[in-house]
Structure 1
Amino acid sequence: MAEGLDTGLCTVFLESLPITGASISVFSGLAPETTVCASNRVSARIDELQFDLGEGPRWTALERRRPVLLPDVRAGSHAAWPVFAKAIRDLDVSALFVFPLVLGAMDIGVAELYCSDPGPLSAADHSTALQLADAATWQLLRELLTLAPADGTDAPQDGSPLSRREVHQATGMVLAQTGASATDALLLLRAHAFSQGRTVREVARDVVARTLDFTPPDGVTRRP
């Protein structure tokens, strides 16, 4: 959760809509990918799963720049993100509604809303969600623009369920070790985490602690 950003945004969604939980993340180039808020552990886990796996409805919403509405997320195989679809079955989530936070050509982030019971948003609730997403986009943009370069780029203190401080640090270390791009360095972390059945954050801690090193033994840059 970036320091200086408004963490009350999730509460506004919860108080205005018939949902069980909400999370908001920013993806703007003004700050590294980070979680602004998550209303509960399930919301935080939905966010973390998609970050770790690099797949899920949030990425579809960001790519298409329009909401992804899943009134029964347990139905269907979800061919675009099968691993996430399988993983979310372990959570008390039946409906998932993802709203991209966009402004003109700028992609600011995403708001993810879930319900424990299946069912669509009513027309009125969908309209309210769009209005709240628009308001959140403007608020986050204003706050991101006022952050100094050293502010808001670190996650909360280590150990927080929303913390990605070590992930960003480990990505830089893997980049230096392999000579890969930042994108490929993160993919290496994700691939290693998936193969070991761990979270990216757990693997990142090992990299930062220098108990895990991605330096190729032959000096040849690795690719995921």
Structure 2
Amino acid sequence: MSEQPGEVWEQFAIAVAEMARDLLAQNSAQGTLDRVVEHAKVLINGCDEAGILTVRQGKVNALAATSDVVRHADRIQQDLREGPCFDAVVDRQQVYAIEDMQQPNKQWPRLAPELRKLGMGSMMGFLLFTEDDNLGALNVYSHNPGNFDETARRAGWILASHAAVAFSAARTHQQLSHAMETRHEIGEAMGILMERYGLTEDTAFKVLKKTSQDRNIKLREVARQVCQTGEKPS
């Protein structure tokens, strides 16, 4: 006996809740992205492969992928500068799709034949965004044409929404952790300079800052060198 639509969406809701807990349990932004693409294969009917990309100044960057085939597909979009996922990031449209790679596509005429060579039959792209930030796009691929129905589209949009929030939170946490580590290292380096060379707090910081500017390296790296050597930068 087949499952009723209500039962299917109830199971999907449970799976999404489990995914949300899994994403929040990751200890890095990269770990969150890697789990998102794996969940896509489970939660979106017909999804054989998935990946996440960003577009910055016209350059596509693959952030996560379930296989090298997906990374190749991302590179093709960059080389051709066309495709649903490329447009999803640039134009802020929430959902794009190529339903059948075997049919001529007026919007992306060069992309479909190249993806078909990789064994792709259809694909969708979902924008990953929050109120304050455009994070990238989630790409899902099927080996078969016409394999994504309206249910798959809805599931993909829901997954992308959860993924964007989790990714944004993970990235913010990672940035804060990095900032705290940087502050600690700079403080430790200043303490060394003050103790060993009799510098004031203000002068110690100016020494680190000037060295950073003169050498064109990050302030944190200068501080790390002082901590490792105990020597005042020349």
TM over 0.5: yes
What's the offset of the Cα at 1:94?
A: 0.7
What's the offset of the Cα at 1:120?
A: 4.2
Equivalent residue for 1:69, pick from 75, 97, 100: 97
Structure 2 counterpart of 1:37, which letter? A
Q: Following the alignment from structure 1 to structure 2, what is the Cα–Cα distance between the partners of residues 59 and 81?
A: 11
* TM-superposition CA deviations, 1:16-61 (whole Å, max 9, x none): 12211000124489xx963221111221211121123322111222
* Aligned equivalent of 1:10: 37
Q: Following the alignment from structure 2 to structure 1, what is the Cα–Cα distance between the partners of residues 49 and 77?
A: 16
- Unaligned 5+ segments in structure 1 are 152-224
Equivalent residue for 1:35, pick from 36, 56, 62: 62
* TM-superposition CA deviations, 1:165-223 (whole Å, max 9, x none): xxxxxxxxxxxxxxxxxxxxxxxxxxxxxxxxxxxxxxxxxxxxxxxxxxxxxxxxxxx
TM-score by length of 2: 0.55
Matched, 1:100 2:134: no
Matched, 1:19 2:59: no
Give the direction of change, closer, same or farther, for the CA distance of 1:45–1:104 in structure 2 (3 Å limit).
Answer: same
Work out the percentage of aligned pairs sharing the same amino acid.
Answer: 19
Q: CA RMSD in A?
A: 2.7
Q: Following the alignment from structure 1 to structure 2, what is the Cα–Cα distance between the partners of residues 148 and 33?
A: 22
Q: Following the alignment from structure 2 to structure 1, what is the Cα–Cα distance between the partners of residues 117 and 146?
A: 19
Q: Following the alignment from structure 2 to structure 1, what is the Cα–Cα distance between the partners of residues 120 and 127?
A: 20
Q: Following the alignment from structure 1 to structure 2, what is the Cα–Cα distance between the partners of residues 127 and 93?
A: 21
Asked whether the equivalents of residues 52 and 136 of structure 2 are also in contact (C-alpha less than 8 Å), the reply is: yes
Asked whether the equivalents of residues 28 and 108 of structure 1 are also in contact (C-alpha less than 8 Å), the reply is: no
TM-score by length of 1: 0.57
* Aligned equivalent of 2:84: 57
- Match of 1:74, SS? coil
Matched, 1:131 2:164: no
Choose between structure 1 and 2: higher helix proportion.
2
Asked whether the equivalents of residues 70 and 120 of structure 1 are also in contact (C-alpha less than 8 Å), the reply is: no
Greater length-normalized contact order (CA 8 Å, ≥ 6 residues apart): 1
Structure 2 counterpart of 1:20, which letter? D
What's the offset of the Cα at 1:114?
A: 0.6
Structure 1 counterpart of 2:158, which letter? Q
- Match of 1:8, SS? helix
**How many residues were matched structurally?**
146
Q: Which has the larger radius of gyration?
A: 2
* Aligned equivalent of 2:108: 81
Give the direction of change, closer, same or farther, for the CA distance of 1:27–1:142 in structure 2 (3 Å limit).
Answer: farther
